[in-house]
Structure 1
Amino acid sequence: MIFDRKQQRLLLEGKEYTFEDISRLIAGGAEAHSPASWDLYLFLNEWFNDSPVIIVHTSGSTGTPKELIVRKDQMMQSARLTCEFLDLKKGETALLCMNLRYIGAMMVVVRSLVAGLNLIVRPASGHPLADIKEPLRFVAMVPLQVYNTLQVPEEKERLKQTDILIIGGGAIDEALEAEIKHLPTAVYSTYGMTETLSHIALRRLNGTLASEHYYPFSSVKLSLSVENTLIIDAPLVCDEILQTNDIARIYPDGSFMILGRKDNVINSGGIKIQAEEMEKLLRSFIPVPFVITSVPDQRLGQAVTLLLEGQPELLEGQPDTKEIGNKLQEILEPYYRPKYIWTTDCIPQTENGKVNRAKCRILAKQMLTTFYTHTLTP
């Protein structure tokens, strides 16, 4: 592997590019290149410059998006950990199909530079395998891209011909995980964040090694806070010990499970409800995209609220809130039952497809205000 940036070359669709080559391509202007290629050239220009750091953006799934300054040498260490774990070798083909604004896509490129992978570039779209011809050794996608790919027979077949798929950037629901189990591809769910320069742990989703647990890289040390949130000590990729908001359970063999985020604990009448665990329980009962959130409540403190994706103005094709409400009455204990069930055009999401929990809470509060305005208006 090559860790000296001055010695690195990008193997792009079988052709090798130096920093000087990238500089000449940029000098030619954006109009001569596809948007996806242009974004790659701009990233490489930043990567190869003399600065030891680079700016990355968080997704904003739990709050306001922010910029982080990260060290390039630590990004290369992260790349090494992944390439060694997955046994990625020089000349093997990797696909870049995510937004280069975020760390997940950046790390696909850095892995290619460090390990000498042959990079194939496609736009950050819902169907990244739509026109792929060559077999791929390694692909990184978000859950929505995987879901869309599995709906199209030709694209599903291309995915089956891919050796390794890692999935990050969002939760993988039970239905998607069940379909993944039938793929011959080695598929992993990743755990990490921008601050850890993508993932520090992987969970195999299919095959004989399939597990519900994430397994951290050997250099990563994990512990729990008094609130059972995960503490990450990953010195190769992060100078500081990270106190996360992820509520976790650590097992004797060092593996762990994520139960949800501390931010997403709803305290309703003194009962603490983890939104993600409740969503996992309800997925088989609710036939449309949905999210569990909360609104302020004078008696309970926070009231559990269910947002369903649909078209409120349509009489047909929208989720039946009454039917869903009756079903939840049967399967949930009283304190866990949503006090409000509302339909919205779409569940708020971040740019890279995660549920935007903060905006969901704001939307639910606005809907509560509208509800009471209409209720109290004579």
Structure 2
Amino acid sequence: FKLKVGAMPWRQDFARVQALADKLPTGVLLRLDANRAWDFETAVRFLEAARGLPLQLLEEPLVDSDEVALSELRHRFGVAIGVDESCRTLAALERVIERGAADVVVLKPMFNGGPRASLKLAERAAQAGLRVLVTGAFETEVGRRTALALASSCRGRALMGCGFDSPFADTGPEQATLPCTQREAPSARLASLRVPCPLHNAAVARPLALAVDDGQRALCWSELEVEARKVAWLLSERFDIGPGERVVMSARASTEWVVALHALNVLGAVAAPLADGPQWEQQLRELRPRLVIVDDDGSAPTSSPSVGLQTLTLNRRADDRFSNRKSSEMNRKSVVVSEARNPNARAVPPFPAVQWNLNAVRVVLWTSGSSGTPKLVELTGQQLLFSALGSAQRLGHLPGDRWLCCLPLQHVGGLSILFRALFFGTAVRLCLPFDTEAVVAELFTGEVNLVSLVPTMLQRLLDARPEAPPSALRAVLLGGAAASPELLERCAELRWPVALTWGMSETASQVATSAPGELGAGLAPLAFVDVEADESGVLAVSGPIVQGQRLHTSDRGTVDERGRVTLLGRVDDIIISGGENVSAGEIERVLLTHPAVAEARVVSVPSREWGARPVALLTSASEARPESAELDAFMRAHLEPLRCPDAYFWLEALPSSALGKSTRVLPAELLQAVDFQTVVGVVGRPKEKRLP
């Protein structure tokens, strides 16, 4: 089904296309033709909003037909791009091919110089792997038959279809499918599936139940909905935020932060939680947000003034009003959000809640895992919903549940707690940033039922209060890194209800999770999740938490006959040394059996002779730190020489991410202090090195 767009503002176009998509039968795809009506920014905004729609093709979106910009649209949104009036000659087609600017070439013989010239274009497009779509303008019968003849000649040249009602237009399903589009995934049937606004549902079902509390301000679900809708109106009116728009949330975690998150959900916009740091400018370039939400203390992320982004300030002071002011440091328009809840401010009409398109992106996260290589991960409503359902099925769900959130909201482990509470109408107690004494105090109030931690956090809690957990605590979701056998033994002895979990940002959190208190025999995948291990032991995940596709993870493991998953480490744990695969995880497990070793991390360093060799980073369980020769002898009693570290380094603390997860990125002081070429590369001779 083809529809013209671009003759009216993009929001009106989107509303028309969305309304049509809702009426179309399942499996029917849309072709849109903008006739070069949009600039790049408008095209981005439309495609951000239209992510969940069943689009097969977008013809000529850009006014200047910039091939580089077209290529970016293809790869950023996964939508098939068609070129028509900007590709009437072989020279123009070559530019399109060279820059990867299109998937489809639209041929109109009367504009391309006749049937022979059009046939040459079709042949070159087919050679480059592009599809051909033959159509026409206002033709005479001669022109129409010419186009039909061309379409017939192109059937062996990846013909996508014909713009006429004729036998030639029936190209079959194998030719009607474009390999580039995201809509071809098995989850395409959910592309136009919508559910009522979850925030509104929670407010209707549990209006007076606690929704969020940060220790300074608490809101019930009805209050949270009212405030979120008002802030949504402000975002729409002041900043023109609409469906698909990306908004960076860099403010500190608070009740106001949660209100802003739900306001973006009401609008259908995309929340991008982001912590300030050295990669801030790179992250902004990747995200291309329309707005940045900052704190009310006058501070702002360390960004270049040239970025030119608008900022919105979360203000906790009820007596403030709106103020338009310039930030001298960043030269951005700034608005203080307090009028939405200020009784003395002028009335602000609430923004109507819209239905959720399950296939639309709701959240963008910046994640690097343990490899240190950052990337953007988009999460749809479908992924967030099925993740929450699977978690509730495994951990249990009660209407009066209260989650303690002490994981950063910039990470999926913290953010997913807010969405679980949203879908089930339960409460969240924010306790951020993580502080051992504060978290212990919250847990032992007897009001917290669930908490999510990484092993380092749990170790600190048990060190601070080594006793049985409070009776109200039903589950401790433990993930993000492998827990040591000693920690698990301690939890078992004290009867802490630990539920081990394996997950990642790409799956909206959990993939496989044990029942609380079950600490052995692998992890059972959540409902709606399939996990398989390939021949090399790499785990793959499929199901609605990955949009119905198949995600090849960076983790290695096994899946037994019952379907339980046992993790063996990460793909980047493998060090190829002398042509042999050496497992860093296996070395770490042996090192941790030594009584003097508290923590162990094995990293790969270059070797002239072997390509790469393992080096061990250690922390001690006591003041005694064995010499390298003693450690090497211990390791050789368990592993063959090739698999033993070439050097051992004692550190005060192992490198970790902001979340406390382990990382195999070498600390800067170690890189500066040691020339690794002088300490590795000789298998069979222990190396003795300590940091100066």
TM-score bin, normalised by smaller chain: 0.7 to 0.9
1:83 matched to which residue of 2?
A: 392
2:279 matched to which residue of 1?
A: none
CA drift at 1:205: 6.7
3-state SS in 1 of match to 2:514:
strand
Residue in structure 2 matching 1:225, options 510, 521, 534: 534
2:381 matched to which residue of 1?
A: 72
1:149 paired to 2:461: yes
1:267 paired to 2:576: yes
1:284 matched to which residue of 2?
A: 593
Is the 1:40–1:100 Cα contact (8 Å) retained in structure 2? no
After superposition, residues 140-289 of structure 1 pair within 5 angstroms as 140-153=452-465, 156-159=467-470, 161-204=472-515, 206=517, 209-285=518-594, 286-289=596-599
Higher mean displacement: 190-199 or 11-20 = 11-20
CA drift at 1:46: 3.1
The one-letter code sitting in structure 1 at the alignment partner of 2:625 is P
Q: 1:179 to 1:48 in 2, by over 3 A?
A: farther
Is the 1:296–1:303 Cα contact (8 Å) retained in structure 2? yes
CA-to-aligned-CA distance 1:164-219 (integer Å, 9 cap, x gap): 1111211111111111112434321111110010002112473xx44230111232
Q: 1:370 to 1:56 in 2, by over 3 A?
A: closer
The one-letter code sitting in structure 1 at the alignment partner of 2:588 is E
1:101 matched to which residue of 2?
A: 410
CA drift at 1:334: 1.5
1:45 matched to which residue of 2?
A: 263
3-state SS in 2 of match to 1:308:
strand
1:324 paired to 2:631: yes
CA drift at 1:360: 2.4
Larger RCO, structure (CA 8 Å, separation 6 or more): 1
1:338 matched to which residue of 2?
A: 645
The one-letter code sitting in structure 2 at the alignment partner of 1:360 is L
2:447 matched to which residue of 1?
A: 135
Q: 1:172 to 1:205 in 2, by over 3 A?
A: farther
1:295 matched to which residue of 2?
A: 605
Cα separation, 1, equivalents of 2:605 and 2:253? 41
Cα separation, 2, equivalents of 1:259 and 1:339? 22
Higher mean displacement: 359-368 or 237-246 = 359-368
Is the 1:291–1:307 Cα contact (8 Å) retained in structure 2? yes
Is the 2:253–2:409 Cα contact (8 Å) retained in structure 1? no
CA drift at 1:5: 2.7
Cα separation, 2, equivalents of 1:34 and 1:252? 45
Q: 1:215 to 1:142 in 2, by over 3 A?
A: same
The one-letter code sitting in structure 2 at the alignment partner of 1:129 is V
Is the 2:524–2:563 Cα contact (8 Å) retained in structure 1? yes
3-state SS in 1 of match to 2:493:
coil
Cα separation, 2, equivalents of 1:238 and 1:350? 28
CA-to-aligned-CA distance 1:251-283 (integer Å, 9 cap, x gap): 111112111112110122333221112212211
CA drift at 1:344: 4.1
Cα separation, 2, equivalents of 1:63 and 1:140? 23
1:19 paired to 2:225: yes
Q: 1:371 to 1:302 in 2, by over 3 A?
A: closer
Cα separation, 2, equivalents of 1:319 and 1:360? 21
Q: 1:262 to 1:233 in 2, by over 3 A?
A: same
Cα separation, 1, equivalents of 2:639 and 2:572? 22
The number of residues matched between the two structures is 359
The one-letter code sitting in structure 2 at the alignment partner of 1:79 is A
Residue in structure 1 matching 2:430, options 121, 140, 160: 121
Is the 1:294–1:361 Cα contact (8 Å) retained in structure 2? no
Cα separation, 1, equivalents of 2:516 and 2:639? 28
CA drift at 1:150: 0.6
The one-letter code sitting in structure 2 at the alignment partner of 1:19 is E
CA-to-aligned-CA distance 1:280-334 (integer Å, 9 cap, x gap): 2211214243311121112222212112248xxxxx9583433434433444321
3-state SS in 1 of match to 2:390:
helix
Is the 1:93–1:117 Cα contact (8 Å) retained in structure 2? yes
TM-score (norm 2): 0.48
The one-letter code sitting in structure 1 at the alignment partner of 2:530 is K
CA drift at 1:247: 1.4
3-state SS in 1 of match to 2:441:
coil
Unaligned stretches of 5+ residues in structure 2: 1-194, 204-209, 214-218, 235-250, 270-359, 680-686, 688-692
3-state SS in 2 of match to 1:83:
helix
1:313 matched to which residue of 2?
A: none
Higher mean displacement: 236-245 or 226-235 = 236-245
3-state SS in 2 of match to 1:195:
helix
2:140 matched to which residue of 1?
A: none
Cα separation, 2, equivalents of 1:12 and 1:348? 33
Is the 1:204–1:211 Cα contact (8 Å) retained in structure 2? no
Q: 1:356 to 1:42 in 2, by over 3 A?
A: farther
Cα separation, 2, equivalents of 1:361 and 1:302? 18
CA drift at 1:346: 3.7
Cα separation, 1, equivalents of 2:392 and 2:578? 48
Is the 1:306–1:341 Cα contact (8 Å) retained in structure 2? yes
Is the 2:499–2:514 Cα contact (8 Å) retained in structure 1? yes
Unaligned stretches of 5+ residues in structure 1: 28-32, 311-315
Q: 1:330 to 1:159 in 2, by over 3 A?
A: farther
The one-letter code sitting in structure 2 at the alignment partner of 1:15 is C
3-state SS in 1 of match to 2:385:
helix
Is the 1:293–1:305 Cα contact (8 Å) retained in structure 2? yes
RMSD: 3.1
3-state SS in 2 of match to 1:289:
strand
Cα separation, 1, equivalents of 2:521 and 2:388? 24
Cα separation, 1, equivalents of 2:424 and 2:375? 30
Is the 2:476–2:516 Cα contact (8 Å) retained in structure 1? no
